[in-house]
Chain A
Amino acid sequence: KAGVTQTPRYLIKTRGQQVTLSCSPISGHRSVSWYQQTPGQGLQFLFEYFSETQRNKGNFPGRFSGRQFSNSRSEMNVSTLELGDSALYLCASSLATSGNSPHEQYFGPGTRLTVT
């Protein structure tokens, strides 16, 4: 079974621009979560999507948004980029069902975003 894939792997953007990152979950996984990893803050939860609905949200500004498609693929968007948005953005998928116990999440390799 193919793992979680993320595109692009690397991205360089300028302050003020916007960016869209893509994630394809493991086949059959319906939940997709996004995390930001920075040296100072570690791994921080951005949001989770399940059946095309945002089910959980972390403490990030509204510039960070996402969506999930009917095939479970997900995108996240960051508008008005700031230097501090430079980070590794990780996507994870799981077999989560509605209202049940959490499942193990499987991570993709990440997208390294550099904002200059």
Chain B
Amino acid sequence: DQQVKQNSPSLSVQEGRISILNCDYTNSMFDYFLWYKKYPAEGPTFLISISSIKDKNEDGRFTVFLNKSAKHLSLHIVPSQPGDSAVYFCAATVPLGNEKLTFGTGTRLTIIP
């Protein structure tokens, strides 16, 4: 049972344009969401997070949007740069100090120069 889903296995975006990565979840208990970026042969790198009490969080070129009613979140990268080419994972966790992350299957983003 995949509780966190990333339905697009891959995405190609022109350099300088906006990259939008999507994530859906089914568990209504999730209240904290994170995005990670992963390069080959490296561990995931934390990008940005959002609590369920917010609907938007911004950090530089990265913005995460959360739509709780739709159980959907998205990561926007503006402008996209070649170094953004990587696999992006969304992850979610439930309340009460639980460090267990449930990950999506990932989206491979390729930025075309």
Residue of B nearest to A58 (CB): B100
Q: Is the CB of B25 closer than 8 A to any CB of chain A?
A: no
Closest approach, in angstroms, between the C-beta of A95 and any C-beta of chain B?
A: 10
Interface size bucket, A side?
20 to 34
List the interface of chain B (C-beta within 8 A of A): 32, 34, 36, 41-46, 49, 51, 89, 91, 93, 95-106
Partner of A90, one of B44, B91, B99: B44
Closest approach, in angstroms, between the C-beta of B43 and any C-beta of chain A?
A: 3
Contact between A33 and B100 (Cβ–Cβ < 8 Å)? Answer: yes
Q: Can you list 23 A-B pairs with a CB-CB distance of less than 8 A?
A: A4-B43, A33-B100, A33-B101, A42-B105, A43-B101, A45-B101, A45-B102, A56-B99, A56-B100, A90-B44, A92-B43, A96-B97, A100-B97, A101-B32, A102-B93, A102-B97, A102-B98, A106-B46, A107-B45, A108-B43, A109-B41, A109-B42, A109-B43
Contact between A45 and B43 (Cβ–Cβ < 8 Å)? Answer: no
Q: Which residues of A contact B36 (CB under 8 A)?
A: 107
Q: Which residues of B contact A100 (CB under 8 A)?
A: 97
Residue of B nearest to A106 (CB): B46
Contact between A98 and B49 (Cβ–Cβ < 8 Å)? Answer: no
List the interface of chain A (C-beta within 8 A of B): 4, 31, 33, 35, 42-45, 48, 50, 55-56, 58, 90, 92, 94, 96-110
- Whole-angstrom distance between the alpha carbons of A100 and B49 in the complex? 16
Q: Which residues of B contact A103 (CB under 8 A)?
A: 99
Q: Which residues of B contact A108 (CB under 8 A)?
A: 43
Contact between A33 and B99 (Cβ–Cβ < 8 Å)? Answer: yes
Answer whether A105 and B46 are a contact pair too, CB < 8 Å, given A42-B104, A42-B106. Answer: yes
Contact between B99 and A96 (Cβ–Cβ < 8 Å)? Answer: yes
Partner of A110, one of B34, B43, B91, B96: B43
Q: Which residues of B contact A55 (CB under 8 A)?
A: 99
Closest approach, in angstroms, between the C-beta of B57 and any C-beta of chain A?
A: 12
Answer whether A56 and B43 are a contact pair too, CB < 8 Å, given A42-B104, A42-B106. Answer: no
Q: Which residues of A contact B45 (CB under 8 A)?
A: 107
Closest approach, in angstroms, between the C-beta of B90 and any C-beta of chain A?
A: 11
